């Protein structure tokens, strides 16, 4: 059995070696030649798995240590008997932490009072649900837009996108990338948002029409961008215009990386019957990375901001990225994973 794995997926070294030949390659450089005789792949978003890569290979299973699957041609895989497994919800806690550290950081820098703001969440899956929980804990009125969930669960808890945009002073995006969400944040989208509102995108860069965002920027109280079109060759003009810019690291928590790697290992193990790894979960290789429970109830905005910045000083990531945007991939691969926060 042979496995080709992205060398940037953490916690993998030594795990499969007793049971398989394992070849580690930078995910951007994995070629068809590399996987001709591979049975499985363990990847991230940087490996585009489609006909061009997979046709004529022995690959039977692809595990991606990410929530998203937009880098994988799911139809091709289904038509050709290739099982695909993603790590649903693996980095949800990290993205939630990013959203609130960024929001309260920008509000503090720009003296924006959040007391009467309504919090609009577009996409209420694993990430959006944790964002909702934190927002309600902090006393925000929350609006939710998630058409698939509304159709399955009833519309009572949800609203239309148009209503959410018109009535929210904070809008944060947590949708998957597909043909229904590509460029959904366009001129009409931004025109509906109130003057002085805050826009956050930590899902996929392709859901935003970046030209429309740049044209709309003067109306916003704050703009926070973690994901970009054409990564790693991002729009540096947009980067210079927004309040916080980071290199697609919102979900880079220690627990998120443990979860993503665990899900991938378990999926490959179960597909090929490696029983010893069915319940694999990587041990922490550093102390001090345990999740931290926060008690935020009753705290003033400045106190909340201080707590978020203490646990994740987000402006450090923003500063490093602005100094060397050409090192997008290096910053991601060498990122020092942070510990997550949560509330009960």
Q: Which residues are known to be catalytic?
A: 204, 231, 248
Quick one: which of 127, 327, 103, 334 has its CA closest to 225?
Answer: 103
Which stretch of DSSP H or E encloses residue 100? helix 92-109
Whole-number Å distance between alpha carbons of 95 and 175: 12
Q: Which residues contact 202 (CB under 8 A, 6 or more apart)?
A: 95, 98, 99, 127, 172, 173, 174, 224, 226, 227, 250, 251
Instruction: Using DSSP, state whether 120 is helix, strand or coil.
Output: strand
The region that residue 196 occupies, defined by phi over 0 for left and psi between -120 and 50 for alpha, beta otherwise, is: left
Q: Which letter does DSSP use for residue 282 in this model?
A: P
Whole-number Å distance between alpha carbons of 226 and 245: 6
């Amino acid at each position: 059995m042979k496995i080709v794995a992205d060398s940037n997926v953490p916690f993998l070294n030594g795990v499969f070696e007793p049971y398989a030949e394992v070849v580690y390659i930078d995910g951007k450089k994995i070629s068809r030649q590399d996987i001709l005789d591979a049975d499985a792949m363990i990847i991230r978003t940087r490996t585009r798995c489609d006909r061009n890569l997979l046709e004529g290979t022995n690959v039977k299973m692809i595990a991606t240590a990410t929530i998203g699957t937009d880098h994988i041609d799911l139809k091709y895989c289904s038509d050709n008997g290739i099982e695909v497994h993603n790590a649903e919800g693996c980095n949800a806690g990290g993205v939630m932490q990013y959203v609130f550290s960024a929001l309260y950081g920008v509000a503090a820098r720009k003296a924006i009072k959040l007391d009467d703001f309504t919090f609009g969440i577009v996409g209420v899956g694993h990430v959006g649900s944790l964002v909702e929980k934190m927002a309600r804990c902090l006393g925000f009125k929350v609006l939710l837009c998630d058409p698939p969930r509304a159709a399955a669960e009833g519309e009572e808890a949800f609203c239309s996108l148009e209503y959410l945009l018109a009535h929210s002073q904070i809008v944060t995006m947590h949708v998957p990338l597909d043909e229904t969400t590509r460029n959904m944040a366009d001129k009409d989208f931004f025109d509906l948002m109130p003057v002085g509102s805050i826009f956050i995108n930590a899902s996929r860069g392709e859901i935003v029409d970046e030209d429309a965002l740049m044209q709309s920027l003067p109306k916003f109280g704050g703009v926070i961008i973690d994901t970009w079109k054409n990564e790693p060759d991002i729009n540096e003009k947009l980067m210079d215009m927004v309040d916080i810019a980071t290199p697609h690291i919102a979900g880079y928590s220690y627990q998120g990386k443990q979860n993503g790697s665990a899900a991938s290992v378990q999926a490959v193990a179960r597909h090929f019957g490696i029983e010893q790894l069915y319940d694999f979960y990587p041990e922490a290789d550093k102390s001090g990375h345990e999740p931290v429970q926060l008690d935020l109830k009753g705290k003033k905005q400045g106190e909340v901001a201080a707590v978020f910045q203490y646990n994740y000083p987000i402006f450090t990531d923003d500063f490093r990225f602005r100094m060397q945007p050409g090192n997008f991939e290096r910053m991601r691969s060498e990122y020092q994973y942070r510990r997550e926060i949560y509330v009960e």
